A and B are shown apart, each in its own frame.
Chain A
Amino acid sequence: MSEQHHEAHKHHEGHGTKYKYGMVIDLDKCTGCGACMVACMAENNISFRKDNSDKLLSNYWMRVYKISNGLPFPDTEICYIPRPCMHCEGHGHHHHTPCVSVCPAVATDYDQETGIVSQIYTRCFGCRYCMAACPYHVRVFNWWDPKWPEGMEKYLSPDVSVRMRGVVEKCSFCNHRLQRARNKAYAEERREIHEDEYQTACTQACPAGAITFGDLQNPEHEVHKLKDSPGAFRLLEKLGTNPKVYYVSSRAWVLKAADVYIGEEGKGVTHP
């Protein structure tokens, strides 16, 4: 991010300015390899169990959904949809984020400065109202105490707190990386964080380069351009959740399948 941009827009970290960190995921590039999920789990100390196959009970901050165009071979097409937290800006751009406004204990918050929806694990008491409020299923509950195979706890990231059972957790856009980048910038007497200094783990892990991360408001960031590219959309746009994760696809059936209930009317679920 250039100094000129911030001078022009009076955007300085920590001085009441607003960044809108967001993501653009190119669904035409995603191969469904799952590297983003693995990187996310390793980066964020996400606990797992011996049998982690039941996705309704396991923890994951990034989840890759698989959809198909439903046509028989040889016309079958598959699309993978990586789904992190949408970090919704909420109704009417007033940051009335679905999950934030319902949390009775302010255990989740919308950061006005970065647009990141945080989760305070030690304040959360596990009522799960936020999970009910989120239509994207990005929030997961710690149904068990976190445990790692012996010796593996040595590989845990010291920058990310481990969550206890009975609390909700979710993707933080690797917020600790932002803190790290801020510290570095501060040490170097800079106020700006460059685009490449703050990138999420999933973005860096994606071998296909399908995920782009940055400040959606900064014209010099890649995401700023990509979010306006043809075929860009957001999940459940019509509900007004105002997510900061955009998807791009050139395939008409993908756009149709990912939009709200545009499939076969009355069926509810369009693509299993």
Chain B
Amino acid sequence: MNSASTPFDSALIPEGVKRCSFGWFLVWIGILQVPLMIGAIAYLVCWGLALNQTYLNNNYPFGIWIAADLGIIALGGGAFFTGFLRYVIKIDELKNIVNFAVVVGVICYSAALGILAVDIGQPLRGWHIFWHANVHSMLTEVAFCISCYFTVLLIEYLPLVLENRQIDRVPVFHFFSHRLHEAMPAIAAVGVFLSFFHQGSLGGVPGVLYGRPFAYREGFLVWPWTFFLFILSAMACGPCFTILITRITEGFARKNLVKRNVIDILAKISGWLLAGYLVLKILDTVGWLSWAGQVGAPLGSFYANQPYGYWVLITELGIFGVIPCILLLIKATRQNQNILILACFLNCAGIFMNRWIMTVQSLAVPVMPFDKFFSYHPNWAEWASTLLWVWIGAVVISLSYRYLPIFPQEKELNPL
């Protein structure tokens, strides 16, 4: 999408970087409007005609929406964890990718909140979760922490917007942006605190369901083991998702935007965290099976109903777990850009699969001995409304990339 001519909107584009023509940009945004409109129609259908427009049912009160919600928030974990590494641990090189991690985080958390808005049966009563809060419910903690952290993410995103060439010319905005930058370590620390809790609470959502032996986990004090596993897995896959989206953006921009050593730091940290997560996840699985056996639910009972056979366990922990872990830990494979992308994809897919398993498969396994198994798959409205956020994300990234200096190394890597 590069063009030799000066774009129509060049006054808004950061100095020293090249962007495609305004016309091509409009065409790209226009193309995105098609799936966006389909997603918007799906939202209107679900809101207007109720949730009977989906394939959710009394056996599957949770479907793709909740699984996607949990998955998206884990993938968006790159924002808080990169912020933590940059501002708290002070890994200076990460200043070159932290802005983009924030953009990805804003998109992910907007998506999570947006999907919840269509998932609940009475969207206009969504505020009840705050007003009538049940302090014992993991979902209450999730709602409070996600809302607070989303606000933090917006505050982190704001200085990027204020750095737009034209906005930055206004003295008051310039001053405000400067002050926000100074406060960023404190803001990032608050974000890390909030993120730890809601990532954990999301793990608690299935983990506390002691009526569902497939999901239930014992744990530490009031927190089931999934509480800690979800935090660790979000830290392990979040940076990989940031890398993945960075590489996709680079692909569309047809140029490098972040130096490889920066990517390598994130990939290496991700690899080690994934290794730690896998060790704990395998220990958790062994402990869970022991407990489940005691309550009369042997291993076979969980994997007796297709499509949820043993392949699920093998794929999640092996193909989407151990393999990307090895690829990320070995320097040679990690520094091969194609293998790195594969490893990041497998890592993210594994965590997403874990969220599906912990929510949808948990409901799929019949608990009463005379209960029947029913399968579930999402219908068009569920897919379209979920994917809507991918297209919204593409629009936000496109706008941010075009008009905001989110990649500090772009000029150096691509001199005009």
Contact = CB atoms under 8 A, between A and B. Distances in A.
A133 B139 CA distance: 12
A260 interface: yes
B300 A267 contact: yes
Interface string B192-224: 000000000000011011111100000000000
B189 interface: no
A135 B296 contact: no
A14 B374 CA distance: 44
A269 interface: yes
Contacts of A127: 119-121, 129, 139
Interface residues of A, number: 63
A152 B383 CA distance: 38
B137 A129 contact: yes
Among A124, A140, A269, A272: residue with most chain B CB under 10 A? A269
Contact of B133 (A104, A142, A270): A104
Nearest to A264: B300
B212 A128 contact: no
B57 interface: yes
B122 A166 contact: yes
Contacts of B300: 265-268
B208 A102 contact: yes
A67 interface: yes
Contacts, number: 197
Main secondary structure of the interface of B (DSSP, over half): loop
B16 interface: no
Contact of A129 (B56, B205, B371): B205
Interface stretch (A37-45, A188-196, A212-220, A233-241): A233-241
Interface string B97-126: 000000000000000000000011111011
B248 interface: no
Interface string A22-37: 0000000000000000
Given A104-B139, A239-B211, A269 B120 contact: no
Interface of B: 50-52, 56-59, 61-62, 119-123, 125-126, 128-129, 131-134, 136-140, 143, 205-206, 208-213, 294-302, 304-305, 359, 362-363, 365-374
Among B123, B131, B137, B369: residue with most chain A CB under 10 A? B369
16 contacts: A56-B59, A98-B209, A101-B137, A102-B137, A105-B128, A105-B134, A106-B134, A124-B122, A125-B128, A127-B139, A140-B58, A235-B368, A238-B294, A257-B369, A260-B297, A261-B298
A141 B52 CA distance: 10
Interface string A155-178: 000000000111110000000000
A123 interface: yes
A48 B342 CA distance: 50
Contacts of A54: 57
Nearest to A265: B298
Contact of A166 (B51, B301, B302, B366): B51
Contacts of A55: 58
A260 B369 contact: yes
Given A57-B52, A132-B62, A140-B58, A262 B205 contact: no
A6 interface: no
Among A65, A105, A145: residue with most chain B CB under 10 A? A105
A-B interface, 6 closest residue pairs, ranked by CB to CB distance from nearest? A126-B121, A266-B300, A166-B121, A128-B61, A260-B296, A268-B304
B301 A135 contact: no
Contact of A268 (B56, B133, B301): B301
Contacts of A240: 210
Contacts of B61: 128-129, 131-132, 141
A143 B372 contact: no
B209 A132 contact: yes
Given A235-B368, A258-B369, A129 B139 contact: yes
Nearest to B301: A268
A81 B305 CA distance: 23
Given A167-B121, A258-B369, A123 B296 contact: no
A236 B209 contact: no
A259 interface: yes
Contacts of B51: 126, 141, 143, 166
A239 B213 contact: yes
A246 B4 CA distance: 79
B370 A258 contact: yes
A251 to B, nearest CB: 14
B208 A131 contact: no
A186 interface: no
Among A98, A135, A139, A272: residue with most chain B CB under 10 A? A135
Nearest to A131: B61
